[in-house]
Amino acid sequence: MKMGKVTTLLAGLLATLGVATAASSAEITLLNVSYDPTRELYSDYNIAFAKYWQKKSGDRVTVKQSHGGAGKQARAVIDGLEADVVTLALAYDIDAIAEKGLIKPGWQKELPHNSSPYTSTIVFLVRKGNPKQVRNWDDLVKPGVSVITPNPKTSGGARWNYLAAWGFALHQKGGNEAKAREFVTKLFKNVPVLDSGARGSTNTFVQRGLGDVLLAWENEAFLAINELGPDKFEIVTPPESILAEPPVTVIDKVVDKRGTRKVAEEYLKYLYSDEGQKIAARHYYRPINAKIPTKLAKIKKFYTIDKDFGGWRSAQKIHFADGGVFDQIVGAGGRK
Amino acid sequence: MSSTTENHTARHNGIRTVGEPAIVRWLLTAVAMAFLALFLALPLAAVFSQAFEKGWQTYLAALKEPDTLAAVKLTLLTAAVAVPFNLAFGVVASWAIAKFSFPGKNLLITLIDLPFSVSPVISGLIYVLIFGRQGWLGPWLEAHDLKIIFAVPGIILATVFVTFPFIARELIPLMESQGKDEEEAAIVLGASGLQTFFRVTLPNIRWGIIYGVILCNARAMGEFGAVSVVSGHIRGMTNTVPLQVEILYNEYNYTAAFAVASLLALLALVTLVVKSVAEWNVRRQMKSQERG
Amino acid sequence: MGPMRVMKILKCTKSVLPGFGPTMGYTLLYLSLVVLIPLSALLLKAAGLSWGEFLGAVAAPRVLASYRVTFGAALAAAGINAVFGVLVAWVLVRYPFPGKRLVDALVDLPFALPTAVAGITLATVYSANGWVGRHLEPHGIKVAFTPLGIVVAMTFIGLPFVVRTVQPVIEELDAEIEEAAACLGASRWQTFRRVLFPLLAPSVLTGFALAFARGVGEYGSIIFIAGNMPMVSEITPLIIITKLEQYDYAGATAVATVMLVASFVMLLVINMLQKWSRRYAE
C-alpha cells in the first residue's frame, strides 16, 4: 500500500519533469563530429549559427564538437556516437557510415557542390626564406630535401598529400601510372617520420625542427603560421595541387530519433550562406561562392579525386588498403 | 612470524652490521640517480618548464578554462567510481588467493595480471565490440536508449579494466608472505570470519591497500589510450584530463597543454609524498609502542 | 620431498579459515565481467576469420616487422629496467641520502603521467633540439624517431613495475643472512651474487615480465617518439589502429589476439617460474 503511494508520487514527479522538459524544448543541442583541422572553423561557426537560429526560430541551439582523425571519428559514429551531423575530411569515411545504414544512400547529392560547402588543397610549409628552394612538387624528390607528412594509412590529410603528389606526376609530360609510382616512391624516401595525424606532423615539423617541407592542408599551414610564428615559416602554394572537398551531411538515423532533423539540416545549409562562406574563408578554407573574397593564392590546375583516381573507393583500394601501392612503396623502399 | 618481527626490530633500530664500503654506496647511488634523472626527472622538469613558460597568469588561466574544468570533473568522477570497485575486488581476491590453496591458482593470477599487458588500444576496442552499435549488446542498448560507450559509463568501464590488477597485485604477494597463522589463531580462539579479517588481516595489509589505491588512482586518472577509444571526444562532456591535454596540444596551445598535464604530475607527486609521510608517522608510532 | 608436498597440500586444503567460497565466487564473477567476457569478444571477432584470412592478417611482412620492433624494443627496455630498477630499489631501501622520499615518489611518475604527455615530453627531451638529444646528436646517436626512441619510451613506462616489485622484497631481506654470509668469509659481492640475488630473482623476474608486457602493449607514448616508419619503427598497436582506420575490425582483432596470447603465455610462464623458484628457495 505504502509502496504503491510512493510509486504514484514518483510517477507524478517524473511526469511533471517530463512536461517541464518538453515545454522548455527550445534548448537544443547538436553534436557535430568532425576531423582535426576544423576545430577553429566550427568554434566560430557554431556561435554564428546559434545567433542566426535564435533570431530565426527563437530556439537556443548549442552545438557540441568532437574532433579527431577522420577515420576514427567515422568509426565512432558507426559504433554509436550520436552525431547529428558529420563534417569529415573525405567522402570515403562518410560512405562507410552510410554503408551501415545510418545515412540514406545518395547523401552527397543532398547539398550543393557534392555536399562540400568549402574546399581546400595541399600546400607546402617551409622554413623562413625557403632555404631548400622548394617551389613545386618535383622539388620534394630532390636528394637532401626532407619531407614531413603524416601516415596515409591513419590520416585522411596524408591521403590527400599522397594523391596530390601522384596527380602531379601523372599530369607531367609523358606521365603515366608507372612514372607516378616511381615519383611517389622517391618522395617517401625523403620522409623521415610518419606521424599518425596531421597535427602530429605539424608538431614534428615545428616543435622538433625536423624536415625542410611539411605537406599540409592549406588552412592548417596558415593556422600554424599564425599560431606559431610568421617569422619562422612561410607557405609555398604549388602551381598545381589536388582539390580537396571535405563533405558534410546529416546522420539520418540520429536526427530522426532525436527529432533534430530540421535544425541539423539548417545548420549545414547555413554553411552555404554568405555568412557561413565568410567564416570558412576567414579560416583559410576556399569558399565555393566565388563572390566571397579570399586571400588564398590562385592554383592553376587542380586534380580531383573523381577524375584522376576514379573516386575514393577505388583510390582507397588501390593505394591505401593493406598490401596496396603505399604498402608496396614503403615495404619495397628497403628503408634502413 | 618471529623472523619478520626480528627483522623489523633490526631495521627500526637501524642496526646494520654489514654493508658496502662508502665509495661503493656513493657510486651506486650516483648511478641510480643519474638513471632516474635521465628517464624521470628530466621529462618531469620539461613538463613544468613548458607549463610555466609564459608565467603564472597563463598557467592559471589555462586551468580555469571551462572545458578543462569539465575534464577535471569527469576524471575525478571516473577515478571515484573505478578505484572503489577495484579495491573491493583486490581485497576479496587476495583473500581467496593468498589464504587458500587450490588448483589453477597460477592461471587465476595470470588472468588478473592480464589487463597490465593488454594494449590500451585493445582495452578500448573490446568495449566497442560489446557495447557499440554493431556490438553484442548494441541493438538492445539502442532500443532502450541506454548509452555506454561514447558516454561516461564507457569511460569508467575502460578505466576499471585498465586499473583492474593494481590493488590485487599489491595485496596478493603481501598476504602470501604474511601467511595465515595469525588468522588461523584468531579463528581457533573463536573470532568470526569478518572479525578476523577486520581485526587481524586488515591492519596487516593496511599499507598495501593504501599503496595499491594510490597507484590505481594515479593510473585511473592518467589513462589515455583506452579511454580515447571509448570517449567520443565530445568537448566539455566526454573528455578526461589526458584527452584534454592532447586536444590542447593539437591546438598548438602548448603552454596550456603542459599546464593541464602538470596537474596530473603534481597529483602523482603529492599523493606519493603524503603516502610516505603517513608511512613514516606510523612507523614512528610503532616504534614508540615497542619502547613503551 | 614427495610426502612432504602431499602433507602440505592436505594441510592447505583443510584450512580453518572461512570465506573461500564467497570470496572466490566474487573474484571469478568480477574477473569474468570486467576482463574475461570483454576479451572473449575480441577472440570471437577474430574467430570469424578463416585460417587463411587470419594468417594473412597476422603474418603479413609489415606486421611481422612490427612484432620484431615491438617485442625487441620491449625486451631491451625490460632488460634495462631489470638492471637499473633493481639498482634504484636497492639504493632507495638501503642508502640514506637527502631527498630520498621525493625520489621514491618520483618513481611512480610513469603511472600517473598520461601516456600521450609522456610521449610528447620524451620526444621534446630526446629529439635533436631537446635537452638530452642535443648532446647525443653530435655523437651520431639519434633517439627520437628511431627504434631507440621506442626503447626509451618503453623504459620510461616500465620502470615502476620493476622498482615496485623488487623494493618490498629488499625491505624484507633478513639482515642475519647477510651477516652470516659475512661471518663465513664471503665478500660483499659474493654475498650479493650467491645469497641475495637468488632471493631477489623471483621479484626481478616478475618486474621484468610486467615491464615487458606493458611495453609490448604501449601505444600512446610511443607514437610521438617512434617515427612510425613501416618495417623500421612501426609498433604492433599502431598496426591495429591502422587496420581499424580501414574499418577492418576482424583484421585488427586478429593482430590483437596474437598480442594477447603472447602476453598471456609470457605472464603465465613467469608466474609459474616464480612459484617454482619460491618452492625451490624453501
Segment C129-174, tens digit of pLDDT: 888 888 888 888 888 888 999 999 999 999 998 998 888 788 877 7
Note whether B182 and B278 are same-domain residues.
yes
CA B270, chain centre distance (Å): 14
Contacts of A327 in chain C (CB under 8 A): 62, 230
Query: What is the residue-level pLDDT of chain A in tens, covering all 336 positions?
Result: 444 444 444 444 444 444 444 444 478 999 999 998 899 999 999 999 999 999 999 999 999 999 988 888 999 999 989 999 999 988 999 999 999 999 999 999 999 999 999 999 999 999 999 999 999 999 999 999 999 999 998 888 899 999 999 999 999 999 899 999 999 999 999 999 998 888 889 988 988 889 999 999 999 999 989 888 889 999 999 999 999 999 999 999 999 999 999 999 999 999 999 999 999 999 999 999 999 988 898 899 999 999 999 999 999 999 998 889 998 988 743 333
| Distance in Å from the first CA to the final CA of chain C | 11
The beta-carbon contacts of A164-169 under 8 Å, at least 24 apart in sequence, are: A164/A121, A164/A122, A164/A137, A164/A215, A164/A241, A164/A242, A164/A303, A165/A137, A165/A140, A166/A309, A166/A319, A167/A240, A167/A242, A167/A303, A167/A308, A167/A309, A168/A136, A168/A137, A168/A138, A168/A238, A168/A240, A168/A241, A168/A303, A169/A137
pLDDT at residue number A241: 95
Of B39, B114, B218, which has the smallest distance from its Cβ to C264's Cβ? B114
Residue labelled with grid coordinates 607546402: A124
| Distance in Å from the first CA to the final CA of chain A | 80
Q: CA-CA distance, C220 to C229, in Å (whole number)?
A: 16
pLDDT exceeds cutoff 80 at B291: no
Share of chain B above pLDDT 90, in %: 29
Q: State the best of A81, A102, A204 to mutate against chain B, taking most chain B CBs within 10 Å.
A: A81
Q: Is C68 on the interface with A (CB under 8 A)?
A: no
Contacts of B36 in chain C (CB under 8 A): 88, 103, 106-107
Contact at 8 Å (CB) between B175 and C4?
A: no
B147 and A39 in contact by Cβ < 8 A? no
Residue A23 phi, psi dihedral angles, 5° rounding: -65, -35
Q: In Å, how far are A39, B51, B113 from A228, measured between CA atoms? A: 16, 17, 44
Mean of pLDDT over chain C? 85
The three cell numbers locating residue C279: 618452492
Q: Specify the DSSP element, H or E, that contains C81.
A: helix C61-94
Note whether B105 and B161 are same-domain residues.
yes
Positions of chain C with pLDDT under 70:
1-15, 277-282
Q: CA-CA distance, C148 to C173, in Å (whole number)?
A: 36
Q: Is C184 on the interface with B (CB under 8 A)?
A: no
Of C102, C179, C263, which has the smallest distance from its Cβ to B17's Cβ? C179
Half-sphere exposure of residue C203: CA atoms within 13 angstroms, side-chain side: 27
Note whether B16 and B156 are same-domain residues.
no
The three cell numbers locating residue B119: 594494449
- Segment B231-266, tens digit of pLDDT: 888 888 899 998 998 888 888 888 899 999 888 888
Q: CA-CA distance, A218 to A122, in Å (whole number)?
A: 6
Q: B270: pLDDT confidence band, cut at 50, 70 and 90?
A: confident
B134 and A79 in contact by Cβ < 8 A? yes
Note whether B74 and B33 are same-domain residues.
no
- Segment A155-188, tens digit of pLDDT: 888 999 999 999 999 999 998 999 999 999 999 9
Contacts of C230 in chain A (CB under 8 A): 194, 327, 330-331, 335
B131 and A224 in contact by Cβ < 8 A? no
The three cell numbers locating residue A167: 596527380
Q: State the best of B86, B126, B199, B280 to mutate against chain C, taking most chain C CBs within 10 Å.
A: B126
- Segment B85-112, tens digit of pLDDT: 999 999 999 999 999 989 988 899 989 9
Note whether B202 and B260 are same-domain residues.
yes
Residues in chain B: 292
Amino acid in position B210: I
Handedness of CA C76, C79, C84, C85 (dihedral sign): positive
pLDDT at residue number A333: 38
The three cell numbers locating residue B150: 561514447
Residues in chain C: 282
Going along chain C from its start, the domains and CATH numbers come out as 51-281 (1.10.3720.10)
- Segment B147-203, tens digit of pLDDT: 888 999 999 999 999 999 989 988 887 888 788 888 999 999 988 888 999 998 888
Task: Give the burial string for B22-48 (b: 16+ CB within 10 Å, else e).
Answer: eeebeebbeebbebbebbbbbbbebbb
What is the complex's ipTM, to 2 decimals?
A: 0.81
Q: CA-CA distance, C212 to C219, in Å (whole number)?
A: 14
Note whether B134 and B277 are same-domain residues.
yes
The three cell numbers locating residue A174: 609523358
A210 and C242 in contact by Cβ < 8 A? no
Per the structure, the count of domains in chain B is 2
Q: Is B53 on the interface with A (CB under 8 A)?
A: no
Contacts of A207 in chain C (CB under 8 A): 124
A216 in helix, strand or coil?
A: strand
Looking at chain B, which subunits does it touch, using at least 3 CB pairs closer than 8 Å as the criterion? A, C
pLDDT exceeds cutoff 90 at B287: no
Note whether B20 and B134 are same-domain residues.
no
Q: CA-CA distance, B151 to B227, in Å (whole number)?
A: 10
- Segment B74-90, tens digit of pLDDT: 999 999 999 999 999 99
pLDDT at residue number C9: 47
Note whether B1 and B64 are same-domain residues.
no
Scanning C195-235, the segments in alpha helix (DSSP H) are 197-217, 223-226
- Segment B25-54, tens digit of pLDDT: 899 999 999 999 988 899 999 999 989 988
Note whether B82 and B160 are same-domain residues.
yes
Note whether B62 and B33 are same-domain residues.
no
Contact at 8 Å (CB) between C116 and C220?
A: yes
According to DSSP, the β-strands at A85-87 and A248-250 are antiparallel
* Strand residues in A146-297 grouped as ranges (E): 147-148, 213-217, 233-236, 240-244, 248-250, 286-287
Domain region containing B284: 54-291
CATH of the domain at B154: 1.10.3720.10
Contacts of A90 in chain C (CB under 8 A): none
Contact at 8 Å (CB) between B92 and C26?
A: yes
Q: Is C124 on the interface with B (CB under 8 A)?
A: yes
Of A69, A192, A322, which has the smallest distance from its Cβ to C145's Cβ? A192
pLDDT at residue number C138: 87
C244 and A321 in contact by Cβ < 8 A? no
- Min Cα–Cα distance to chain B from C236, Å: 10
Note whether B168 and B227 are same-domain residues.
yes
Q: CA-CA distance, C256 to A282, in Å (whole number)?
A: 44
Q: CA-CA distance, C170 to C151, in Å (whole number)?
A: 27
B147 in helix, strand or coil?
A: coil
Contact at 8 Å (CB) between C182 and B20?
A: no
DSSP assignment of B46-84, as one string?
A: HHHHHHTTTHHHHHHHHHH-HHHHHHHHHHHHHHHHHHH
pLDDT at residue number B288: 67
Residues in chain A: 336
Task: Give the burial string for B95-119 (b: 16+ CB within 10 Å, else e).
Answer: bbbbbbeeeebbebbbbbbbbbbbb
Residue A123 phi, psi dihedral angles, 5° rounding: -130, 180
Q: State the best of B106, B122, B213 to mutate against chain C, taking most chain C CBs within 10 Å.
A: B122
The three cell numbers locating residue B141: 542498448
Mean of pLDDT over chain B? 84
Helix axes A70-78, A91-99, angle to 10 degrees: 10
Nearest to B276 by CA among C89, C92, C101: C101
Q: Is B146 on the interface with C (CB under 8 A)?
A: no
Chain pair B-C, CB pairs under 8 angstroms: 318
Half-sphere exposure of residue C125: CA atoms within 13 angstroms, side-chain side: 23
Contacts of A210 in chain C (CB under 8 A): 127-128, 145
Handedness of CA C259, C261, C266, C268 (dihedral sign): positive
Note whether B158 and B280 are same-domain residues.
yes
Q: State the best of B121, B129, B228, B235 to mutate against chain A, taking most chain A CBs within 10 Å.
A: B235
